[in-house]
Amino acid sequence: MDSLKKEEVLPLIDPAKTERRHETTVVASAMSSKGRYAALGYMVSAVLLVLFNKAALSSYSFPYANVITLFQMICSCALLYAMKSWKIISFTEDERQSITSNPVTLVPMKTLFHTLPLAVSYLLYMLITMESVRGINVPMYTTLRRTTVAFTMIMEYLLTGRKHSAYVVGSVGIIILGAFVAGSRDLSFDAYSYSIVFMANICTAIYLASIARIGKTSGLNSFGLMWCNGVICAPILFLWTLFKGDLEAMMNFTYLYSTGFQKASALLASCLANPSTSIPA
């Protein structure tokens, strides 16, 4: 009798639960691997983006930053369009909703209008960020850009009322302190360049806060938001550069046909066209 009772209380192993647990572990491992590759890809793209921006705008003194931004948007939209047409990516959280009757915009016009505020903030973020690279060295630029998280926290609080823990606030405070220490030892201090970088931080914060508000209600994923930004902003920027005469003046640029400049410009455009750079660096 005692042996029977002991057998009755022994825990039973459910093969189905064990198999599901194993599958969950495998999926989590695969997702973590994808996350590592995505982080590495973003890191490489972000670093190359800054370096080639600096090379084109400073080393070659290219004065038409808006033209570079326009070409980058065109490259980005072309890549997204091709990937969407080949069904490599989807523009929505639910792939079944990714089909639209509009073959030009690939998303409903109602969705485009819904993302208009986000696109405007994206355009400001792109233009000011491009200008901020021109007058400051790369290490100092990278250091000052790390303070973007503080501006983002403030903007999120103002727009959504989101608050962060004391540990997060303390960590951000350490980052800001480090940026000020590094800036105080910068022998090439330029007040104008510093102010432009901080303006870029503010625009980045507005853009990220807009993603938090509009992105969730639009039903679009990161690729869809990138596509809407490009479709809305590229025509606006094209008309602006055409009105200012930048496109025509670019043809008379001294180093336009220089091999080094063309390599830098081509790599820059391809770098930003990478979807991984949709997240501000």
Structure token pair of residue 181: 């220490």
pLDDT per residue over 113-172, tens digit each? 888 888 888 888 888 887 777 777 777 787 788 788 888 888 878 877 778 888 888 888
Integer Rg of the chain from CA:
24
For residue 92, the cross-strand partners are 220
Looking up tokens 């109602």 gives 110
Cα angle value 164/166/172 (rounded, 5°):
75
Contacts 24+ apart (CB under 8 A), 276-279: 276/38, 276/41, 276/42, 276/45, 277/42, 277/45, 277/46, 277/49, 278/222, 278/225, 278/226, 279/42, 279/222
Structure token pair of residue 161: 């009322």
On the question of pLDDT at 276 being above 50, the answer is no
User: What is the mean predicted confidence (pLDDT) over 261-275?
Assistant: 57
Domain ranges of the chain: 61-89+229-274, 117-220
User: What is the mean predicted confidence (pLDDT) over 48-68?
Assistant: 74
Cα 6 from Cα 44, distance rounded (Å): 60
Q: What is the SS3 assignment for 92?
A: strand
The pLDDT-based confidence of 281 (bands split at 50, 70, 90) is: very low
Structure token pair of residue 143: 């250091």
Cα 71 from Cα 78, distance rounded (Å): 11
Tell me the one-letter amino acid at 94.
D
- Count other C-beta atoms under 10 Å from residue 46's C-beta: 19
Looking up tokens 């030009």 gives 104
Structure token pair of residue 169: 């606030």
User: What is the mean predicted confidence (pLDDT) over 28-48?
Assistant: 67
Looking up tokens 């949709």 gives 278
Looking at the chain, the whole-number percentage of residues with pLDDT higher than 90 is: 3
The whole-number pLDDT of residue 112 equals 86
User: What is the mean predicted confidence (pLDDT) over 69-90?
Assistant: 85
On the question of pLDDT at 34 being above 50, the answer is yes
Cα 261 from Cα 279, distance rounded (Å): 26
**Among 63-67, 80-84, 129-133, 274-278, which stretch is predicted with the lowest mean pLDDT?**
274-278
The whole-number pLDDT of residue 279 equals 46
pLDDT per residue over 210-256, tens digit each? 887 787 788 888 888 888 898 999 999 999 888 888 888 888 877 77
